[in-house]
Structure 1
């Protein structure tokens, strides 16, 4: 069965959803150790969270890019995730969704969250023909993410390296078996209707 072009797929429980970020060890290791973002984590900057493990691997080069050596799985409340989506604005102007460019720009400036849909990735990190959600949080959303929504932070760098080693060895079946199980997000139609055309 084909995946819809726009669909949130994530590791999830009845109350949480897992998203991924990558940081330098000076931020990532304390965050995983203390199960919360350290004071050095800037709550006044935009932060991008990704429900797709493989898109995160594409972005951080399997945890090898400078400043992205520590890959974190951040479990957040579904309530917070859904609040961010409801209050998000698409990061680019789309005439099918927005009245005009000026209205979109005004909405983007005011929105505490923004959404990009980027091609999902294969195990070899090539693009697939459907999209993966990237959710940018700023202002109120970034503060809530760090201080209210976060339930658990896990360092998954060893998992990233193990899967990468299997991919390099050509054992894609073994690599795929280790991937986090990401399934379509429940009841997402209403949450993303204003973010897809």
Structure 2
């Protein structure tokens, strides 16, 4: 695996406890996001290094940069249709483009626009943004919020091939780590190294409601 790993116990002391944070592993070139699929789709993607075969270009696909939140959603790869867990090394430029074009999936007064304006944006946008409670390895809800990004139409078409640097099948790694969770041995749990991601564009950070690193 080309993912940098570190003990969970060592990382939680450094992670923000609350606020809206894009927790991820990234550098100047790429950011790692996670998805889970049934075997036919997941293995095709890992073997061919692009999404094809039974992957549907007409549906919205959701990416999650936070490993533990993905594990909460897919039950550590045990949920039906989510057995193959992929780590997708995504071009940072593509990730920026997604979020610049993102519209919140639900309306909120804090968005700084009317419901009608938001509805118009939703109709024309092909990228959805959602903040949900983050979770610990056992699935307990945290105060910190985690992001997921939904892509459709032209954004899905570029995501499946052009935007991807590398696709890794990390299913075996997930199973190994799930053993420690099941046996309440978090001192042995390894997870990807993650830290809060901030955009260089301050206006974009504000639009996305991203908290400062100090929270």
Normalised by the length of structure 1, the TM-score is: 0.93
Cα displacement (A) at 1:39: 3.4
Deviates more, 1:89-98 or 1:153-162: 89-98
User: Is 1:172 aligned to residue 189 of structure 2?
Assistant: no
Paired with 1:187 and 1:135, the residues of 2 have a C-alpha distance of 15
1:35 deviates by 1.2
Structure 2 unaligned residues grouped into runs of 5+: 1-13, 211-215
SS class of match (2:111): coil
| Of 64, 69, 82, the match for 1:68 | 82
User: 4+ residue stretches of structure 1 with deviation over 2 A?
Assistant: 1-4, 186-192
Q: 1:82 touches 1:191 (CA, 8 Å); kept in 2?
A: no
Equivalent position SS for 2:21:
coil
The CA deviation string for residues 122-175 of structure 1, in whole angstroms up to 9 with x for no partner, is 011111101001001111111111121011111111111111101111110111
Count of equivalent residues: 195
Check conservation: 1:86, 1:192, Cα contact below 8 A: no
Counterpart in the other structure of 1:127:
141
Task: Say which SS state the counterpart of residue 165 (structure 1) adopts.
Answer: helix
SS at match of 1:107: helix
Deviation at 1:196, TM superposition (A): 2.5
In the TM superposition, residue 4 of structure 1 has moved relative to its aligned partner by 4.7
Equivalence for 1:195: 208
Corresponding residue number in structure 2 for 1:116 = 130
> What pairs with 1:12-91 in structure 2 (closer than 5 Å)?
12-91=26-105
Do the aligned partners of 1:119 and 1:129 also contact (CA within 8 Å) in 2?
Answer: yes
| Aligned equivalents of 1:99, 1:13: Cα separation in 2 | 33
Per-residue CA distance 1:84-140 (angstroms, 9 max, x = gap): 000000111112214211110110111121111011110111111010010011111
Q: Residue 36 of structure 2 contacts residue 84 of structure 2 at CA under 8 Å; is this kept in 1? A: yes
Instruction: Give the drift of 1:79.
Output: 0.2
User: 1:183 Cα deviation (Å)?
Assistant: 1.0
Equivalent-residue separation in structure 2 for 1:172 and 1:97 (angstroms): 38
Q: RMSD value over aligned CA atoms?
A: 1.6
